[in-house]
Amino acid sequence: MKRTLHTVWLVARRELRTRVQTRAFVLGTLFMALLVLAFPVVTLFAGASNAPEDELSASDSTTRLGITQSANGLADPLERKAGVDRPAISVRKVADTETGKNLVREGELDGVVAGTPTAPELFVERHVFPHLERALTTITYNNQLDAEMSRSGLDPEAVRDRAGRGEVAIVSMGESQGAADGPMAGISDAEKAQRLIIAMISTFLLYMFLIMTGQMISQGVVEEKSSRVVEVLLSTIRSTELMAGKIVGIGLTGLIQFAVIGVLGFTAATATAVLTLPTFTVAGLLGWAVLWFLLGFTLYATMLAAASSLVSRQEDLQSVITPVIMLLIVPFFVGVSVLPTNPDGTTGTVLSMIPGFSPMLMPMRLALGGVPLWQGALSVVLSLVASAAVLWLGGRIYSNAVLRTGARVRLKDALRAS
């Protein structure tokens, strides 16, 4: 066992070294890094031209609000409502509505609240304060509710106290409790949009990496066969050790690249404020993406290694790996077309747990949020079971086919012969 692990590591180390040192790897990583870095910058500029809220929220983090005497009851709840990760709200009293409106025109204030605590009016130059609207709506709603309860002879505080005992346990997958401060319904449109973008980008990255590392696996297997070095290797190590080492080494290569680009991308997006999700949410999503990269990679890499071992020349490779690549392409396009519109639909939910589909669909669902823990766990377990089966079968095919040079080995023969 120790010897086996050591051998697998030796093979993996060689793969990692020879690949990371190539110019293709370095340039490829640089290129993708630039792409990932360019994305938030472009979004920022694009966003700046049609959504001035970015300018404001970026330059002026506190929303200055004037409040008239009649609406004064809203001042305290408003200041409290301004959450940590939302722009803070500062409130000051104004004499009357007209004075406040003038201050807004002069740029002294961002908005004026008039009216009554149950029917407030918000005057702004342009409506670019969704958080303000949200806060006011909630406060008004509560005030209205309290008023109605009092009118019906109920004690609002007692009712709230009793109502507050009903608990809803929401476990947001992959996010620490800080991010799970509200159910899906409580997630703002802006956050939803960000989650969708993250989902699309991470799924696309995942897809790209699986294709790329899969290509490396295929070419590596055939290279060893066509250069005949495989016979020298197999005279001292087992074919399963060779295959495992190859998969581990190339997997690490891909993971390094994936991690570099992922971290770089999220850092850039956060720094340019294109992404305003809390850091732990992002880290969680990144962690899930990495886990699914590993799960998906194990599955596809094994299938590709086995398929590639059937042929001896790079020219013949395409015909044997196409069916496997299709198993990657189809879920990707299904995922991209089905999920974003209806992430919790039955089709998406079921498919996201089926091995083969799960590496593409589950990370996307996770990024969109609101996936029950059992579904996430089940899809991981199913994927692991499928990987074990594929490893066993693939190892057998690989062992039987890897020494047969010349014509393409038929799958049936590779499975049967010993």
- Give me the residues that bind other proteins (CB under 8 A), please: 3, 7, 10-11, 14, 18, 223-224, 227-237, 403, 405, 418
Q: How far is the CB of 360 from other proteins (least distance, A)?
A: 33
Nearer to other proteins, 337 or 418 (CB): 418
Nearer to other proteins, 101 or 225 (CB): 225
Q: How far is the CB of 227 from other proteins (least distance, A)?
A: 5
Please provide residue 183's backbone torsions phi and psi, each rounded to the nearest 5 degrees.
Answer: -70, 175
Read out DSSP for 382-417? Answer: HHHHHHHHHHHHHHHHHHHHTT--SSPPPHHHHHH-
Please provide residue 227's backbone torsions phi and psi, each rounded to the nearest 5 degrees.
Answer: -90, 0
Cα–Cα distance measured from residue 122 to residue 104, given in angstroms and rounded to the nearest whole number:
11
| Nearest Cα residue to 360 out of 199, 216, 175 | 199
Nearer to other proteins, 118 or 308 (CB): 308
SS3 content of the chain, % helix, strand, coil (to 5): 70, 5, 25
Q: How far is the CB of 208 from other proteins (least distance, A)?
A: 25
Nearer to other proteins, 134 or 410 (CB): 410
Nearer to other proteins, 37 or 411 (CB): 411
Structure tokens at 9: 């590591």
Q: How far is the CB of 25 from other proteins (least distance, A)?
A: 13
The β-bridge relationship of strands 119-124 and 88-93 is unpaired
**Helix, strand or coil for residue 78?**
helix
- Whether the CB-CB separation of 403 and 238 falls below 8 Å is answered with no
Nearer to other proteins, 158 or 232 (CB): 232
Nearer to other proteins, 217 or 275 (CB): 217
Q: How far is the CB of 10 from other proteins (least distance, A)?
A: 5
Cα–Cα distance measured from residue 285 to residue 84, given in angstroms and rounded to the nearest whole number:
21
Q: How far is the CB of 12 from other proteins (least distance, A)?
A: 12
| Order of all β-strands in the sheet with 111-116 | 88-93, 62-67, 111-116, 119-124
Please provide residue 92's backbone torsions phi and psi, each rounded to the nearest 5 degrees.
Answer: -135, 155
Q: How far is the CB of 324 from other proteins (least distance, A)?
A: 25
Residues with Cβ within 8 Å of residue 240, at least 6 apart in sequence: 395, 398, 399
